[in-house]
Amino acid sequence: MIEITDSPDIKQWREFVYDHPQGNIFQTPEMAEVYKRTKNYEPISLAVVDDATNEMLAVLLAVVIKEKGVLGSFSARLVIHGGPLFINDDQGMDAMRILMGYYNKISRKKSLYTLVRNMYDTSEVLSIFNSMGYGYVEHLNFLLDLNLSVSDLWGQLYKSRRNGINRAKRRGVRIEAVVNEDGIRVMYGLLKETYTDAKLPFADISLLQSIFDVLKQKDMAKLYLAKKGSMDLGTIVLLTYKDTIFDWYAGAPRRYSRLCPNDILVWHAIEWGTKNGFCIFDFGGAGSPKEEYGVREFKKQFGGKLVNFGRYMKIHSPIKMKIAEKGFEVYRKIK
């Protein structure tokens, strides 16, 4: 017999994810704690356990995200990043089916849709997702091999990126680690302005505070600012887990673009990673191959490998979804 629990044993959960070949920071109990502490976020933690052996067979961490203000409940969505994870045998596959079936029953009461953001090849479970009403959409990303030397990594940069990094250095841009709450407030201001310029909503400041309090204290996150003198130019939020650095959030207001803060922030992260034993720099997504996306071109020029792990999506409330889409169009216009 197997059991589904919404309160997995933390130690067992942590070890399951760490030992799993596709284990990633977004499926850890630490990330669940970040979500729990973030305003307008609600984690859903599920696991399948074998009653006879007490062995964990599968885990899933999802998060309900709502936008504050006018979008309200019509913005509620569920995101599963890098999951679910399950043991690699027939029993694990069965556990994954049962887990997703249970998740589907509770998810439709909590959100408009679920988006599964894949971090690796999930073709072996494509048919399971399809049978449960999830559609597959292509989504790109870049993965950079950090096993190379710094000089080799520098050599594979596009000329435009090398020029940007050199320009930033010539003009006195430096990178500083964020070490206190004052730095968190500065980071939030920079990210908020960047997202507002792009006409996109951004999370409450409690997300950054939670990353600082939970992940940074366990060496699972690095937070940096690009500065020139007393000016704060840009910021980056990196997640560090096992052998991978994940570029989660980054931003620099347009008025500072001539100083190239984004170029030097990413290069600092890459250089730091290769010097500290990391193997992969995950750029955190590069959009749909069917749409032009300026950020994709920027990320491409750091020399990573293009991958297309895609995403799965299931709409739980089609009527509310249409209302939400109209509301988001209005939101972008008034912003």
Q: What is the CATH number of domain 142-307?
A: 3.40.630.30
Lowest mean pLDDT across 70-84, 88-102, 111-125, 177-191: 70-84
The confidence band for 334, taking pLDDT boundaries of 50, 70 and 90, is: very low
Mean local confidence (pLDDT), 105-121: 94
Matching fold, domains 2-139+310-334 and 142-307: yes
Which DSSP state fits 215? I
What pLDDT is stored for residue 75 in this prediction? 73
Give 333's pLDDT tier (boundaries 50, 70, 90): very low
Tell me, what's the pLDDT at 319? 58
Contact 72, 80 (CB under 8 A): no
Tell me what percent of the residues of the chain surpass a pLDDT of 70: 93
Q: Taking a C-beta distance cutoff of 8 angstroms, is the pair 50, 86 a contact?
A: no
pTM beyond 0.75, yes or no: yes
The count of C-alpha atoms lying within 13 angstroms of the C-alpha of 273, restricted to the half-sphere facing its C-beta, is 30
User: CATH for 2-139+310-334?
Assistant: 3.40.630.30
Q: What is the mean pLDDT of residues 82-110?
A: 94
Cα–Cα distance between 99 and 57 in angstroms, integer?
10
Beta-bridge partner residues of 174: 227
If pLDDT is split at 50, 70 and 90, which confidence band does 109 have?
confident
Question: At residue 243, does pLDDT exceed 80?
Answer: yes
What number is the average pLDDT over the span 226-246?
98
Nearest-angstrom CA–CA distance, 190 and 214: 21
Distance CA(56)–CA(87), nearest Å, equals 8
Rounded CA Rg of the chain: 20
The DSSP string of 155-181 is HTS-HHHHHHHHHHHHTT-EEEE--SH
Distance CA 204, CA 166 (A): 34
- Please give the pLDDT value at position 332: 44
* H-type alpha helices, 198-260: 205-210
**pLDDT (tens digit per residue) in 171-207:** 999 999 999 999 999 999 999 999 999 888 899 999 9
Helical residues (DSSP H) of the chain, grouped into ranges: 10-19, 29-37, 90-107, 126-131, 150-155, 159-170, 181-197, 205-210, 261-275, 294-300, 318-334
pLDDT at 331 over 70: no
Domain ranges within the chain, ordered by starting residue = 2-139+310-334, 142-307
Mean of the pLDDT values across residues 244-258?
97
Q: What is the pLDDT of residue 330?
A: 41
Q: Which tens digits make up the pLDDT trace of 116-144?
A: 999 999 999 999 999 999 999 999 999 99
Do 260 and 165 touch, CB atoms closer than 8 A? Answer: yes
Could you tell me the two tokens for 261?
């803060």
CA 189, 190, 194: angle at the middle one, nearest 5?
115
Residue 302 confidence (pLDDT) above 90: yes
Query: 3-class DSSP state for residue 218?
Result: helix
Q: Does position 301 have pLDDT exceeding 70, yes or no?
A: yes
